[in-house]
Amino acid sequence: MSELQQLRLGEKLTVRTLPGRDGNTIGRLQDGCIILFDQDNPYVSMLAPGQSVECQIIVISEKYIIVKPLSEPESAAIVHYPEEDFPEVDVDDIVKDLEKMVKKLSGKSGNAKVIPQALLHVIRLEQLIIKILRRRI
């Protein structure tokens, strides 16, 4: 059951705001579903990315929900995790195997190499993020 299916009209939740399209502010549920804000609400003009606001669900659709802010937004707290929470993981063997797989599949037609390429990209991004968080870059 998706997070959207578990929600009920009138339910209250805290929404972290994010930048949306065309300069609008949105939120997202943990499963990625979009949270839109009631444009007739007086607090909407105060919303900006990087905030947290208490809201009440007023519309539930298949692809999004609309919420009514119940209070002024607050700056969302930035959480800093200790360095030990970012373990050093040796991914060299995995990267080599994925690179071999991509090379082996490069002559074939179709999308067979898309998944190994995507995994390589994710691993490299994860390693870069860990280095940034450890302030090694």
**113 — pLDDT class (breaks 50, 70, 90):** confident
| Same domain (yes/no): 118, 55 | no
pLDDT in tens, 40-76: 999 999 999 999 999 999 999 988 999 999 999 998 7
**How far is the CA of 84 from the CAs of 109, 124, 125, in angstroms?**
43, 20, 19
Range of the domain at 22: 3-75
Between 104 and 134, the higher pLDDT residue: 104
Q: Are residues 33 and 88 in the same domain?
A: no
Task: Give the total number of structural domains in the chain.
Answer: 2
CA angle in degrees (0–180, nearest 5) for 11-12-15: 130
